[in-house]
Structure 1
């Protein structure tokens, strides 16, 4: 029997395996309700309102090409009948084809890169068309947001066995490696100046770490690249060293110093999906096994210390959601703003009274489809 990430967890920690299995069932239950059949795409989010009887009523809002592509990336690991149940009657390959057809109207590099990545992973015959759109959107050579630059590299790494992308692959790989500030292990929010205001150019988020470390690990796995693997490893080691005592993956970092700027919000998708998939990819590429950190982060989903005074589950089996985040509830994200500006002039500045004034006990009751797409990717993907 092939041992997957999920089945390996059953051997290591049965209780966490039960939690991950439950979360995957929630994902498969929730995704069909996030599908807009008339448009053949996914909503941007589902938001909750409390009913008088204590139940939750969920409303669909917007649509998202990006989230649709991420869902395809995860759903492809399901058996075909379950792919169709999640993707409005389509297989992952067919649904990716719909996204490729819409690429001429896609103007965001990250969206196009995710579609190309899905095309590579599903072995879609129009992969070259998808890659051409990525190249067209990325041709000026200017700075890019780090997350989008990482998705470009992941797409090209996935495509290497099917299409000649070596020149573009090398450029995308070098762009990510050069983006780091000095010898620091963490990645900034953008690969170069001009996209982020000067006063917060040092602040990067958790996604700015996980997607590059994943992309560089996949770059190494696709053809052997010790420098890329080392950069991935260094980033992973740092975010794992900073992980909270309750398993929290923190949100904002100082890319210069490798420290935490502001920990909250803590997002459920980081705990159950984004951190696991990036760290699993690193281990499977030959890097360090950060399994203990993965398990600690997953455990937070069932034991949220921030909500201890007023316990509420992050997971609702019915109607199939995981609540989006735990946050401070500070007006206009005041704590993040104050710490971002403060650490610009005084690295490591904490402004401790803010922790007492704005405690992280608020819950964001919404759920987005990409959270479940990455969850499927994290736990059903890979082979150990």
Structure 2
């Protein structure tokens, strides 16, 4: 935040505003028992312009991400957003639920939260990760990255070197050819053949963050170089309005389909990954971070369409989830994914004129605020 204030005072004020929105919104996302979080708060706009918010579902994954961010708050404010718990106490609540967790990514995030909060049952959490992470089995790239981040965080406490090396090597091998970008899975079998070349934005940020953290926790120039190369490419592809695009061709390092533009990418995921990279000794991507953050108030897609709907609603404690095309069944994304598999570089340009990105998804999820807190308050050394 200090560097942001020095570089761009209005953007520092925007980040401060967003952090206040996060602390206001997270308590409203708690489950009634106070030991978990909902999956989402969905907004419904009435004819008179008022917005009603509805809680839906639950997510242990989002709860773990929220702990990772909330741990940087003072203890009294941790308790305010975590149902009376400190971050370490809430991590303990999640660890107790690990025997019933079947998803590798969920378990890895809980273990990461346990490591970062210094929870005494970290070893138990990592054992659950190991049990779910079958050797030689392909995993989704995001979840494989979270495994590496958890192990890097645990490195100072436990002997995890063999597991860390395996997780690190798996991520590096997942890349296709000489491309710096990552596909959606670390190996074949999890995705249809016609989408095997596609990687989303999360498939880039979480691996580059994990590799940077692996280097920061122990000297690993190869991991740092891979993280830097990935970051350099997605920053080169960033939109003129600061947009972090959604789908990439992991073979060629190009954009397949830009939309939706997710607010969490703009205010949280890109900043937390790129700031972690810089702090690990990588390139300083401060300008792309600031450019992406600026999108939250200067949304070119809505401005061009003459729409004035804000993405940040301070009084409700939400940021709207995304700006998207409104195409039925994500038709543009599907069409471009298939055509680029057969003819790399073909974008079907006329679709941009038919399906314009002017729809707003009025939804907000806890992890968006968890990563926001992590981005602007936390990281490796902040």
With normalisation by structure 2, the TM-score equals 0.98
- 1:253-268 pair list within 5 angstroms: 253-268=248-263
Q: Cα offset for 1:40?
A: 1.5
When the two chains are superposed, the root-mean-square deviation of aligned CA atoms in Å is: 0.8
Secondary structure, aligned partner of 1:42: coil
1:242 is matched with 237
With normalisation by structure 1, the TM-score equals 0.98
User: For 1:349, which of 334, 346, 349 is the aligned residue?
Assistant: 346
1:319 is matched with 316
1:92 aligns with 2:87: yes
Q: Cα offset for 1:140?
A: 3.5
- 1:64-143 pair list within 5 angstroms: 64-143=59-138
2:202 is matched with 207
- Confirm or deny: 8 A CA contact 1:37 1:88 kept in the other structure: no
Secondary structure, aligned partner of 1:41: coil
- Most deviating of 96-105 and 138-147: 138-147
Q: Cα offset for 1:311?
A: 1.5
Secondary structure, aligned partner of 2:337: helix
Q: 2:48, 2:322 → 1: CA distance? A: 24
- Confirm or deny: 8 A CA contact 2:104 2:132 kept in the other structure: yes
User: For 1:339, which of 327, 336, 347 is the aligned residue?
Assistant: 336
Deviation track 1:299-340 (CA, whole Å, cap 9, x = no partner) reads 000100000111111000011000000000000100000000
2:359 is matched with 362
Q: 1:91, 1:316 → 2: CA distance? A: 27
Q: Cα offset for 1:37?
A: 2.6
- Confirm or deny: 8 A CA contact 2:36 2:63 kept in the other structure: yes
Name structure 1 gaps, 5 residues minimum. Answer: 1-5
1:305 is matched with 300
- Confirm or deny: 8 A CA contact 1:188 1:255 kept in the other structure: yes
Secondary structure, aligned partner of 2:199: strand
Q: Cα offset for 1:12?
A: 1.5
Q: 1:203, 1:278 → 2: CA distance? A: 20
User: For 1:157, which of 139, 152, 155 is the aligned residue?
Assistant: 152
1:3 is matched with none
Q: Cα offset for 1:203?
A: 0.8
Q: Cα offset for 1:55?
A: 1.5
User: For 1:175, which of 164, 170, 173 is the aligned residue?
Assistant: 170
- Confirm or deny: 8 A CA contact 2:34 2:84 kept in the other structure: no
Deviation track 1:184-235 (CA, whole Å, cap 9, x = no partner) reads 1000000000000001100110000000000000000000100000000000
Q: 2:34, 2:370 → 1: CA distance? A: 19
2:52 is matched with 57
Secondary structure, aligned partner of 2:316: coil
Q: Point out 4+ residue stretches in structure 1 off by more than 2 angstroms.
A: none
